[in-house]
Structure 1
């Protein structure tokens, strides 16, 4: 189940399908061919394109027009998941632009998570009341993967290494007092193109058994440290619910329930909320 809580309203819908970007033509959103779905997906593309995201060190984050995937739920809830990169092609931000029906009216929602541990220029999202986002970055520093292998010089071998390291992590989501063990998808949602032993990384997804919509993302990336390449990781929340992450049985990260989700001003790396009414 994909469960969204937006503006204080619980909405539960069964996830019909999720289509990886690698399996689709960007001109044909997901598997939907209706005029309504195309209109919505085109709108999401435009909303994402119009977002102006810039770091305080002067880097303009570049929207990658091909989504990681698009999803549709029983013809009612639609969304596209995108990434933004730095000019040097490092991951900077990931986000979903989507729509959800409330009282027979489609509303657009935005869900963003800053990835790069550098402050951004404060930005506003949506129509009145506009959300103002000034995310703190203290918790975004990537951590060294414990007992990680030496970074291979072979691209295929590095993917095997990243998949192996991802399997060492276990994720849990706490919902209504119940602990749910999340399932790791075997293939990454995203991997850097033109990777090298000094520039490689991927995004892995942990999903609820009720669906294939990511609840927690795991970023694994090569970074330089003390003149050598090392493997680092970053946990990325993609839900308002409480999350926990373990590495080989040891707790390494936790995120409490996101209580600020309805606020007009948000200072966390994760932003979510309704942003606009979509005309008929």
Structure 2
């Protein structure tokens, strides 16, 4: 995600080089848990649906699919959330994270990417917030991939093999390059019980430290009477990105600029202070 450019922030563009979320200093754990609770509250207040079907609300998964903290540079604390459709297919992925603004006040930012096949609309706390003009992903066949296996376990093995064929890098505003790390396990896997267009798939993360920079969707999609593997990249960064398949560039995206009707959008939502410790409730995504 690499800190999408926010109008309210100046100079907040440093790349993450942080320790694993799983190992924050003991003194930071309470702070991390408190702001993760804020992340959950913000995510729960979103409603997403296709523009053409306002009553077809998508479901927020009960647990975050990825968590991250950055106590060294940027001071970010947040979680990645996923909304799915009735077939369990990913529809929207979003990060809600907080970074220090002034004193004990933090700016809470939202970063969203549509994964849907049609234009979508987002409402947050009763107000329209984001409306896309097109589908969120552009699918491409995975070359030289075998047809999708019939069993979920077999398809999971195939996804792991496919993921290892990809490499990704980010390029910052000064031309610095970072080879992104393939997170070993997909952050989400799904199987469609009554397949028409597809059998199922996975979401794969390429990260810089613990910071998700690029989301790679991999899905077994119908081609005539068979199901073949396809991929679709989704940016989660304000930096330029490049994706390679078998060491050949297959996708790139230049630095992001604010676009409220595009498939990727990021903005500051609020500035908040944590309540007094005595009033906090323990809740971790």
TM score, norm. by length of structure 2: 0.81
**Alignment-derived partner of residue 251 in structure 1:** 249
Matched, 1:9 2:3: no
CA displacement at 1:247 relative to structure 2: 1.6
Distance in 2 between residues matched to 1:138 and 1:56, nearest whole Å: 11
Aligned match of 2:32: 37
Question: Which of residues 237, 240, 252 in structure 2 aligns to 1:239?
Answer: 237
Deviations along 1:206-250, one digit per CA (max 9) or x if unpaired, are 122xx1211111110112221321111110111111111122233
Moved over 4 A (4+): 1-4, 124-127, 193-198
Deviation at 1:86, TM superposition (A): 0.5
Distance change in 2, residues 1:66/1:195 (3 Å)? farther
Query: Does the CA contact (< 8 Å) of 1:155 and 1:196 recur in 2?
Result: no
Q: 1:26-60 deviations in whole A, cap 9, x for unaligned?
A: xxxxx9642x4333222221211110111023231
Question: Is residue 142 from structure 1 mapped to residue 124 from structure 2 by the alignment?
Answer: no
Corresponding position: 1:72 with 2:69: yes
**Residues matched between the structures, number:** 260
SS in 2 for 1:220: strand
2:47/2:123 contact within 8 Å kept: no
3-state DSSP class of the match of 1:186? coil
SS at match of 1:6: coil
Contact 2:111 2:267 in 1 (8 A): yes
Task: Measure, in 1, the Cα distance between the counterparts of 2:264 and 2:2.
Answer: 18
2:189 and 2:114 map into 1 onto residues whose CA distance is 17
Map of 2:150 onto structure 1: 153
Judged with a 3 Å threshold, the aligned counterparts in structure 2 of structure 1 residues 118 and 149 are, in CA distance, closer, same or farther, namely same
Question: Cα gap change, 1:82/1:187 in structure 2, threshold over 3 Å: closer, same or farther?
Answer: same
1 or 2 for the larger relative contact order (CA 8 Å, sep ≥6)?
A: 2
Report the CA distance between 1:138 and its aligned residue: 5.0
In 2, the alpha carbon distance for the partners of 1:170 and 1:49 equals: 33
Partners of 1:51 and 1:45 lie apart in 2 by 10
The 10-residue stretch of structure 1 (63-72 or 194-203) with the greater mean CA deviation from structure 2: 194-203
1:279 to 273, 278, 283: 273
* Structure 2 counterpart of 1:172: 169
After superposing the two structures, state which structure 1 stretch, 91-100 or 51-60, moved more. 51-60
The answer on whether the counterparts of 2:88 and 2:192 sit within 8 Å (CA) in structure 1 is no
Structure 1: stretches of 5+ with no match in the other structure: 20-30
1:4-153 aligned within 5 A: 5-7=5-7, 8-11=9-12, 12=14, 14-19=17-22, 33-34=29-30, 36-58=31-53, 59-74=56-71, 76-104=75-103, 105-121=105-121, 123=122, 125=124, 132-137=129-134, 140-153=137-150
Decide whether the 8 Å contact of 2:2 with 2:238 is kept in 1. no
